[in-house]
Protein backbone atom coordinates (compact mmCIF):
# COMPACT_ATOMS: atom_id res chain seq x y z
CA UNK A 1 0.00 0.00 0.00
CA UNK A 2 1.29 3.40 -0.91
CA UNK A 3 2.28 5.63 1.97
CA UNK A 4 2.68 9.40 2.16
CA UNK A 5 4.18 11.69 4.73
CA UNK A 6 1.53 13.58 6.78
CA UNK A 7 2.46 15.86 9.71
CA UNK A 8 5.90 14.28 9.80
CA UNK A 9 4.51 10.73 9.93
CA UNK A 10 4.11 8.07 7.29
CA UNK A 11 0.46 6.97 6.90
CA UNK A 12 -1.42 4.96 4.30
CA UNK A 13 -3.86 6.51 1.79
CA UNK A 14 -6.69 4.30 3.22
CA UNK A 15 -6.24 5.88 6.65
CA UNK A 16 -6.54 9.36 5.19
CA UNK A 17 -9.87 8.41 3.51
CA UNK A 18 -11.26 7.11 6.82
CA UNK A 19 -10.37 10.36 8.57
CA UNK A 20 -12.03 12.38 5.78
CA UNK A 21 -15.29 10.43 6.02
CA UNK A 22 -15.32 10.78 9.78
CA UNK A 23 -15.09 14.56 9.42
CA UNK A 24 -18.05 14.71 7.05
CA UNK A 25 -20.22 12.68 9.43
CA UNK A 26 -19.62 14.96 12.39
CA UNK A 27 -20.86 18.04 10.37
CA UNK A 28 -24.45 16.65 9.88
CA UNK A 29 -27.14 18.60 11.91
CA UNK A 30 -30.72 17.70 12.86
CA UNK A 31 -33.33 19.50 10.79
CA UNK A 32 -36.05 19.15 13.45
CA UNK A 33 -36.52 17.74 16.95
CA UNK A 34 -40.10 16.71 16.22
CA UNK A 35 -43.36 17.66 14.46
CA UNK A 36 -46.74 18.43 16.07
CA UNK A 37 -49.87 18.70 13.88
CA UNK A 38 -53.24 19.92 15.09
CA UNK A 39 -56.69 20.14 13.49
CA UNK A 40 -59.44 22.68 14.12
CA UNK A 41 -63.16 22.33 13.34
CA UNK A 42 -64.82 25.61 12.34
CA UNK A 43 -68.57 26.07 12.75
CA UNK A 44 -70.41 28.76 10.84
CA UNK A 45 -70.82 31.72 13.19
CA UNK A 46 -74.05 33.25 11.82
CA UNK A 47 -76.98 30.98 10.97
CA UNK A 48 -79.89 32.00 8.74
CA UNK A 49 -83.10 30.31 9.86
CA UNK A 50 -80.92 27.89 11.81
CA UNK A 51 -79.10 26.69 8.68
CA UNK A 52 -75.43 26.82 7.69
CA UNK A 53 -73.56 26.37 4.41
CA UNK A 54 -73.38 22.59 4.86
CA UNK A 55 -77.13 22.21 5.17
CA UNK A 56 -77.67 22.94 1.48
CA UNK A 57 -80.49 25.36 2.23
CA UNK A 58 -78.84 28.77 2.05
CA UNK A 59 -81.11 29.74 -0.84
CA UNK A 60 -84.43 30.40 0.87
CA UNK A 61 -87.58 31.39 -1.01
CA UNK A 62 -89.04 34.64 0.30
CA UNK A 63 -92.65 33.94 1.27
CA UNK A 64 -93.15 37.12 3.25
CA UNK A 65 -92.44 35.43 6.56
CA UNK A 66 -90.10 36.14 9.46
CA UNK A 67 -86.43 35.18 9.13
CA UNK A 68 -83.89 34.64 11.87
CA UNK A 69 -80.23 35.61 12.20
CA UNK A 70 -78.44 33.83 15.04
CA UNK A 71 -74.84 34.46 16.10
CA UNK A 72 -73.22 31.35 17.58
CA UNK A 73 -69.79 32.94 18.02
CA UNK A 74 -68.51 33.99 21.44
CA UNK A 75 -67.93 37.52 20.15
CA UNK A 76 -70.35 39.94 18.51
CA UNK A 77 -70.58 39.66 14.72
CA UNK A 78 -71.50 42.40 12.24
CA UNK A 79 -73.45 41.52 9.10
CA UNK A 80 -75.14 43.45 6.33
CA UNK A 81 -78.25 42.71 4.30
CA UNK A 82 -77.76 43.45 0.60
CA UNK A 83 -80.32 43.45 -2.21
CA UNK A 84 -80.07 42.32 -5.82
CA UNK A 85 -83.04 43.02 -8.11
CA UNK A 86 -83.40 41.50 -11.57
CA UNK A 87 -85.99 41.89 -14.31
CA UNK A 88 -87.01 44.46 -16.89
CA UNK A 89 -84.98 47.64 -16.56
CA UNK A 90 -82.47 46.31 -14.04
CA UNK A 91 -79.14 48.14 -13.85
CA UNK A 92 -76.34 46.98 -11.54
CA UNK A 93 -78.78 44.90 -9.54
CA UNK A 94 -81.25 47.75 -8.93
CA UNK A 95 -84.62 48.40 -10.57
CA UNK A 96 -86.19 51.82 -10.49
CA UNK A 97 -89.66 51.39 -9.06
CA UNK A 98 -88.82 48.65 -6.53
CA UNK A 99 -87.72 49.55 -3.02
CA UNK A 100 -86.55 46.77 -0.70
CA UNK A 101 -86.16 47.35 3.03
CA UNK A 102 -85.65 45.23 6.13
CA UNK A 103 -87.28 45.51 9.53
CA UNK A 104 -86.73 43.74 12.80
CA UNK A 105 -89.79 42.10 14.32
CA UNK A 106 -90.56 41.23 17.92
CA UNK A 107 -93.77 39.86 19.41
CA UNK A 108 -94.95 41.25 22.75
CA UNK A 109 -97.51 39.76 25.12
CA UNK A 110 -98.91 40.00 28.63
CA UNK A 111 -97.45 37.64 31.22
CA UNK A 112 -98.26 36.36 34.68
CA UNK A 113 -95.67 38.29 36.68
CA UNK A 114 -94.24 36.69 39.80
CA UNK A 115 -91.67 39.24 40.90
CA UNK A 116 -88.52 37.57 42.18
CA UNK A 117 -88.76 34.41 40.10
CA UNK A 118 -88.60 33.39 36.45
CA UNK A 119 -89.79 32.57 33.90
CA UNK A 120 -92.98 34.62 33.68
CA UNK A 121 -95.51 32.62 31.70
CA UNK A 122 -97.41 34.24 28.85
CA UNK A 123 -101.18 34.60 28.82
CA UNK A 124 -103.71 35.65 26.20
CA UNK A 125 -104.84 38.96 27.71
CA UNK A 126 -103.17 41.13 25.03
CA UNK A 127 -100.45 41.01 22.40
CA UNK A 128 -98.80 43.19 19.77
CA UNK A 129 -96.19 43.04 17.03
CA UNK A 130 -93.44 45.66 16.77
CA UNK A 131 -91.59 46.27 13.49
CA UNK A 132 -88.45 48.30 14.13
CA UNK A 133 -85.42 49.57 12.26
CA UNK A 134 -82.50 47.14 12.43
CA UNK A 135 -80.03 49.96 11.88
CA UNK A 136 -79.94 53.65 11.10
CA UNK A 137 -79.26 56.96 12.74
CA UNK A 138 -82.67 56.94 14.46
CA UNK A 139 -84.63 54.07 15.99
CA UNK A 140 -88.00 53.90 14.23
CA UNK A 141 -90.86 51.49 14.84
CA UNK A 142 -94.46 50.60 14.05
CA UNK A 143 -96.85 48.79 16.38
CA UNK A 144 -99.59 46.42 15.23
CA UNK A 145 -102.18 45.70 17.92
CA UNK A 146 -103.82 42.31 18.27
CA UNK A 147 -106.75 41.26 20.43
CA UNK A 148 -106.59 42.76 23.91
CA UNK A 149 -105.98 46.21 25.30
CA UNK A 150 -106.20 49.59 23.63
CA UNK A 151 -102.52 50.47 23.31
CA UNK A 152 -102.98 54.11 22.37
CA UNK A 153 -101.80 55.18 25.84
CA UNK A 154 -98.72 52.95 25.82
CA UNK A 155 -95.02 53.76 25.43
CA UNK A 156 -92.41 51.48 23.87
CA UNK A 157 -89.39 51.05 26.15
CA UNK A 158 -86.04 49.26 26.19
CA UNK A 159 -85.70 47.43 29.49
CA UNK A 160 -82.06 46.89 30.46
CA UNK A 161 -81.73 44.31 33.24
CA UNK A 162 -79.33 45.02 36.07
CA UNK A 163 -77.18 42.21 37.41
CA UNK A 164 -79.38 41.80 40.50
CA UNK A 165 -82.55 42.44 38.56
CA UNK A 166 -85.17 41.70 41.21
CA UNK A 167 -83.49 43.46 44.14
CA UNK A 168 -82.37 46.32 41.88
CA UNK A 169 -84.90 46.73 39.03
CA UNK A 170 -83.72 48.73 36.05
CA UNK A 171 -85.11 52.01 34.83
CA UNK A 172 -87.34 52.27 31.80
CA UNK A 173 -85.57 53.70 28.74
CA UNK A 174 -88.05 55.19 26.29
CA UNK A 175 -87.05 54.28 22.75
CA UNK A 176 -87.56 57.95 21.85
CA UNK A 177 -84.62 58.67 24.19
CA UNK A 178 -82.25 56.10 22.66
CA UNK A 179 -78.91 57.65 21.75
CA UNK A 180 -76.98 54.56 20.64
CA UNK A 181 -77.14 50.88 19.81
CA UNK A 182 -78.88 48.33 21.99
CA UNK A 183 -78.35 46.19 23.94
CA UNK A 184 -76.00 48.28 26.06
CA UNK A 185 -72.89 46.45 27.19
CA UNK A 186 -73.97 46.97 30.82
CA UNK A 187 -77.18 45.04 30.17
CA UNK A 188 -77.32 41.82 32.19
CA UNK A 189 -78.99 40.17 29.20
CA UNK A 190 -75.83 40.55 27.10
CA UNK A 191 -73.77 37.92 28.89
CA UNK A 192 -75.27 37.11 32.29
CA UNK A 193 -78.84 35.96 31.75
CA UNK A 194 -79.44 33.26 29.16
CA UNK A 195 -82.87 33.06 27.54
CA UNK A 196 -82.51 29.82 25.62
CA UNK A 197 -83.95 26.54 26.79
CA UNK A 198 -81.66 25.10 29.46
CA UNK A 199 -80.26 28.51 30.38
CA UNK A 200 -80.36 29.97 33.84
CA UNK A 201 -83.78 31.56 33.30
CA UNK A 202 -85.49 28.50 31.79
CA UNK A 203 -86.89 30.58 28.93
CA UNK A 204 -87.18 29.09 25.48
CA UNK A 205 -86.39 32.00 23.17
CA UNK A 206 -84.76 31.79 19.75
CA UNK A 207 -82.08 34.28 20.84
CA UNK A 208 -80.17 33.68 24.06
CA UNK A 209 -78.81 37.21 24.52
CA UNK A 210 -79.85 40.70 23.47
CA UNK A 211 -82.24 43.49 24.39
CA UNK A 212 -85.78 43.44 25.83
CA UNK A 213 -88.49 45.56 24.24
CA UNK A 214 -91.67 46.24 26.26
CA UNK A 215 -94.92 48.19 25.88
CA UNK A 216 -96.14 49.76 29.11
CA UNK A 217 -98.83 52.32 29.93
CA UNK A 218 -97.26 55.77 29.87
CA UNK A 219 -98.86 56.52 33.23
CA UNK A 220 -96.93 53.59 34.77
CA UNK A 221 -93.57 55.20 33.97
CA UNK A 222 -92.75 57.26 37.05
CA UNK A 223 -90.99 60.64 36.83
CA UNK A 224 -87.71 58.97 37.88
CA UNK A 225 -88.22 56.33 35.09
CA UNK A 226 -88.95 53.53 37.53
CA UNK A 227 -91.96 51.37 36.66
CA UNK A 228 -95.18 50.89 38.59
CA UNK A 229 -94.86 47.15 39.01
CA UNK A 230 -98.20 47.00 40.79
CA UNK A 231 -99.81 47.41 37.38
CA UNK A 232 -97.62 44.87 35.54
CA UNK A 233 -100.61 42.75 34.55
CA UNK A 234 -101.20 45.21 31.69
CA UNK A 235 -97.54 45.38 30.58
CA UNK A 236 -96.66 43.72 27.27
CA UNK A 237 -93.35 41.88 27.58
CA UNK A 238 -90.87 40.43 25.08
CA UNK A 239 -91.21 36.91 23.73
CA UNK A 240 -87.70 37.03 22.24
CA UNK A 241 -84.64 39.28 22.43
CA UNK A 242 -83.60 41.80 19.76
CA UNK A 243 -80.87 44.24 18.73
CA UNK A 244 -80.60 47.63 17.04
CA UNK A 245 -77.42 49.12 15.55
CA UNK A 246 -77.06 52.88 15.39
CA UNK A 247 -75.30 53.54 12.08
CA UNK A 248 -76.12 54.78 8.61
CA UNK A 249 -74.59 52.06 6.43
CA UNK A 250 -76.97 49.20 7.16
CA UNK A 251 -74.60 47.15 9.30
CA UNK A 252 -76.23 45.05 12.03
CA UNK A 253 -74.25 43.92 15.08
CA UNK A 254 -75.46 40.61 16.49
CA UNK A 255 -74.74 39.96 20.21
CA UNK A 256 -72.48 37.03 21.05
CA UNK A 257 -73.39 33.54 22.24
CA UNK A 258 -76.77 33.17 20.58
CA UNK A 259 -77.74 36.79 20.01
CA UNK A 260 -79.39 38.04 16.87
CA UNK A 261 -82.57 39.38 15.30
CA UNK A 262 -85.79 38.29 13.67
CA UNK A 263 -86.48 40.28 10.51
CA UNK A 264 -88.87 40.65 7.59
CA UNK A 265 -88.28 41.71 3.99
CA UNK A 266 -90.54 44.45 2.68
CA UNK A 267 -90.78 45.24 -1.05
CA UNK A 268 -92.62 48.35 -2.27
CA UNK A 269 -93.59 48.46 -5.97
CA UNK A 270 -94.33 51.59 -7.96
CA UNK A 271 -97.77 51.38 -9.58
CA UNK A 272 -96.20 52.43 -12.90
CA UNK A 273 -93.69 49.55 -12.88
CA UNK A 274 -93.40 47.81 -16.26
CA UNK A 275 -95.39 44.51 -16.30
CA UNK A 276 -93.22 41.44 -15.98
CA UNK A 277 -91.54 39.05 -13.59
CA UNK A 278 -89.01 40.43 -11.13
CA UNK A 279 -86.67 38.67 -8.71
CA UNK A 280 -85.47 40.25 -5.48
CA UNK A 281 -82.59 38.48 -3.75
CA UNK A 282 -81.35 39.22 -0.23
CA UNK A 283 -77.82 38.26 0.78
CA UNK A 284 -76.61 38.20 4.37
CA UNK A 285 -72.92 39.03 4.10
CA UNK A 286 -70.09 39.34 6.66
CA UNK A 287 -68.83 42.82 7.29
Peptide bond between residue 14 and the one before it cis (omega within 30 degrees of 0): no
pLDDT tens-digit profile of 73-104? 999 999 999 999 999 988 888 999 999 999 99
Burial 109-143 (b: 16+ CB within 10 A, else e): bbbeeeeeeeebeeeeebbbebbbbbbeeebebeb
Cα–Cα distance between 122 and 165 in angstroms, integer? 20
State residue 221's pLDDT score.
Answer: 97
State residue 117's pLDDT score.
Answer: 82
pLDDT tens-digit profile of 41-75? 888 899 999 888 777 666 778 888 999 999 999 99
- % of the chain surpassing 90 pLDDT: 66
Q: Are 74 and 261 in contact (CB under 8 A)?
A: no
Cα–Cα distance between 224 and 232 in angstroms, integer? 17
Residue 11 or residue 94, greater confidence: 94
State residue 219's pLDDT score.
Answer: 97
Residue 25 has pLDDT above 80, yes or no: no
State residue 16's pLDDT score.
Answer: 46
pLDDT tens-digit profile of 103-144? 999 999 999 998 888 889 999 899 999 999 999 999 999 999
pLDDT tens-digit profile of 143-202? 999 988 999 999 999 999 999 888 888 899 999 999 999 999 999 999 999 999 776 666
Cα–Cα distance between 97 and 228 in angstroms, integer? 48
Amino acid sequence: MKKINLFGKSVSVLAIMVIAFAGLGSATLLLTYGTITGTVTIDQSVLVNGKDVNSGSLDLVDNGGVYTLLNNANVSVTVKLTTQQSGYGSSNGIIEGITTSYYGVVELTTKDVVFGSSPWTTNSDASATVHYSLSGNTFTYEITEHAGFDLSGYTLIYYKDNSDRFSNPALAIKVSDLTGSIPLMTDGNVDEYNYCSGGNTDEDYTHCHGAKMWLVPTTDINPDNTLNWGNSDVFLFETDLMAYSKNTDGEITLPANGGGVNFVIVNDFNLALYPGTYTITTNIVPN
